[in-house]
Amino acid sequence: MSSPTAAQAIARPSGGPLDDRPLTDAEVHALRIDFPILQTEVNGHPLSYLDSGATSQRPFAVLDAERTFASTLNAAVHRGAHTLAAEATEVFEDARATVARFIGADESEVVWTSNATEAINLVAYALSNASLGRGGAAAERLRLREGDEIVTTEMEHHANLIPWQELAARTGATLRVIPLDDDGALRLDVAADLIGERTRLVAVTHVSNVLGVVNPVEDIVALAHGVGALVLLDACQSAPHLPLDVRALDVDFAVLSGHKMLGPTGIGALYGRRELLEAMPPFLTGGSMITTVATTTAEYLPPPQRFEAGTQRVSQAVALAAAIDYLTTVGMPRIAAHEAVLGRRLVEGLRGMDGVRVLGAGIDRPRVGLASFDVEGIHAHDVGQFLDDLGIAVRVGHHCAQPLHRRLGVTSSTRASTYLYTSEAEVDALIDGVAATIDFFRRGA
Ligand code: PLP
């Protein structure tokens, strides 16, 4: 967009890529002007949006990118020969390159999907098809048989659990689960026993969407690769908040969702190590993923197009690239530092309150700006309702992580989650709001 955004205005005066100072209050307030929804009111109060873990808000740069594409370049990609189609294809592929750079991958290793859920299912169904003998000799190494094991953890979002349950059911493989300790930390000692010569794939989340803590991915990767197993990283809650380098982490697959990182809904991405994508049979089939088609057979394009059947989500991909440009202009290290400050403030403020239990508060690991808590004697839905009346948006329920909640002895919790546009004052208002909720319900009791 032609007018400079607040992100550009605050972009690293020192110019150094390693600038990891937390954002100042003035910078956060400047950034907020780029987000129209943050200027609105809810229930008579200025909106305090503490639900970015569910979906993030979009700056003008992202909204404008989608509109500009639709109003000046809209055409189907990789199909037409006319000028508009060629230009649309170019910006679509530029957007892929932007995602690849953002996560340290090659553009041939980035597959567009609708969201992270679809990206995980893509891998699960490709392995399933390989197990049926599809994909020929190249896919043989991906074949799962009875006796093979898939390993995941007790803290996964359902999106990184149910596809593996289904894959196990389809192939006869066994699903094994790394348990948590009472605080919600992964039991690495048990993981070391679980991950063995039968393990073919380990699927783990980088950052828990309930606890906000960063998992020791390097340790899990070392265990998995030590026995020749593949690793799929659920980067849904890390890619938006931390610098992410899939090669440095040495994972084989990683997934992300655009709507959690300032982008639109309907767009996500799968990273796959090139030689793995080359060996994988497709998940969805149809137009755009083929070279030659006869009535009873077809040959497929190499990755990433092999996995992109049908008309693509072009304006969403272009808008996600605009979101990534926005994030990198501010600087991922600065965003991570800002959120670490907010995360600590959130946890310290909440755990000091009588009757409040912060899930995973004791885990000694870096965290993002996200915390879930249980208030003794008050249902999470009541907490959420009370906060909503104050204009504070939080998530309540099990956050698509029922096994984790069950393990920690609760059925639901209240989750507050921040982003680069969240101010310290909003975190303080949330803590005051929880105190007011407790006061209200205890007085009424
Ligand atoms: N994994 C994690 C850790 C998440 O937090 C989420 C969304 O909340 C997902 C996966 C699924 O993302 P989506 O619903 O965008 O596919």
Compute the distance from residue 17 Cα to the ligand 1 centre, in Å: 29
Helix (H) or strand (E) holding 167: helix 162-171
Half-sphere exposure of 336 (CA within 13 A, CB side): 18
236 noted as active-site residue: no
Residue 394 belongs to domain with CATH number: 3.90.1150.10
From first to last of the 445 residues of the chain, give the pLDDT tens digit: 334 678 887 775 555 556 899 999 999 999 999 999 999 999 999 999 999 999 999 999 999 999 999 999 999 999 878 999 999 999 999 999 999 999 999 999 999 999 999 999 999 999 999 999 999 999 999 999 999 999 999 999 999 999 999 999 999 999 999 999 999 999 999 999 999 999 999 999 999 999 999 999 999 999 999 999 999 999 999 999 999 999 999 999 999 999 999 999 999 999 999 999 999 999 999 999 999 999 999 999 999 999 999 999 999 999 999 999 999 999 999 999 999 999 999 999 999 899 999 999 999 899 999 999 999 999 999 999 999 999 999 999 999 999 999 999 999 999 999 999 999 999 999 999 999 999 999 886 6
Residues 171 and 235 in one domain: yes
Compute the distance from residue 116 Cα to the ligand 1 centre, in Å: 6
Ligand 1 pocket: which of 164, 211, 236 to mutate (most atoms within 8 A of CB): 236
Residues 46 and 100 in one domain: no
Residues 176 and 311 in one domain: yes
Compute the distance from residue 53 Cα to the ligand 1 centre, in Å: 9
Residue 90 belongs to domain with CATH number: 3.40.640.10
- Which pLDDT value is given to residue 298? 96
Q: Which atom of ligand 1 is nearest to the CA of 115?
A: 16
Q: How many domains does the chain have?
A: 2
Ligand 1 pocket: which of 157, 204, 213, 242 to mutate (most atoms within 8 A of CB): 157
Picking from 306, 327, 348, the residue at the C-terminal end of a domain is 327
Picking from 327, 350, 373, the residue at the C-terminal end of a domain is 327
Residues 231 and 276 in one domain: yes
Q: Return the closest-CA partner of residue 384 out of 370, 369, 398, 397.
A: 397
Q: Spell out a b/e string for 275-293, using b for 16 or more CB atoms within 10 Å of the CB, else e.
A: ebbebbbbbeeeebbbeee
Residues 297 and 413 in one domain: no
Residues 49 and 80 in one domain: no
- Which pLDDT value is given to residue 292? 97
Enumerate residues lining ligand 1, CB below 6 A: 115-117, 157, 159-160, 205, 209, 234, 236-237, 257, 400
Q: Return the closest-CA partner of residue 60 out of 316, 317, 323, 266.
A: 323
Residues 188 and 254 in one domain: yes
Residues 38 and 166 in one domain: no
CA distances 274 to 107, 116, 303, Å, are 10, 19, 8
Compute the distance from residue 240 Cα to the ligand 1 centre, in Å: 12
Compute the distance from residue 71 Cα to the ligand 1 centre, in Å: 30
Residues 129 and 232 in one domain: yes
Residues 50 and 169 in one domain: no
Picking from 278, 310, 327, the residue at the C-terminal end of a domain is 327
Report residue 39 CA to chain centroid gap: 26
Ligand 1 pocket: which of 400, 415, 417 to mutate (most atoms within 8 A of CB): 400
Q: Which atom of ligand 1 is nearest to the CA of 265?
A: 15
Residues 189 and 79 in one domain: yes
Q: Which atom of ligand 1 is nearest to the CA of 119?
A: 16
- In terms of C-beta density within 10 A (0-12 exposed, 13-18 middle, 19 or more buried), how is residue 107 classed? middle
Give every CB contact of residue 231 below 8 A, 6+ residues apart in sequence.
201, 202, 203, 204, 220, 221, 224, 225, 250, 251, 252, 253
CA distances 220 to 210, 217, 232, Å, are 20, 5, 11
Compute the distance from residue 171 Cα to the ligand 1 centre, in Å: 25
Question: Can you give the residue range of the structural domain that contains 307?
Answer: 67-327
- Which pLDDT value is given to residue 408? 96
- Which pLDDT value is given to residue 6? 80
- Nearest-CA residue for atom 4 of ligand 1: 236
Given 236, 400, 427, 430, the catalytic residue? 400
Residues 310 and 427 in one domain: no
Report residue 209 CA to chain centroid gap: 9
- Nearest-CA residue for atom 8 of ligand 1: 54
Compute the distance from residue 189 Cα to the ligand 1 centre, in Å: 27
Q: How many CB atoms lie within 10 A of CB 213?
A: 25
Ligand 1 pocket: which of 51, 209, 214, 398 to mutate (most atoms within 8 A of CB): 209
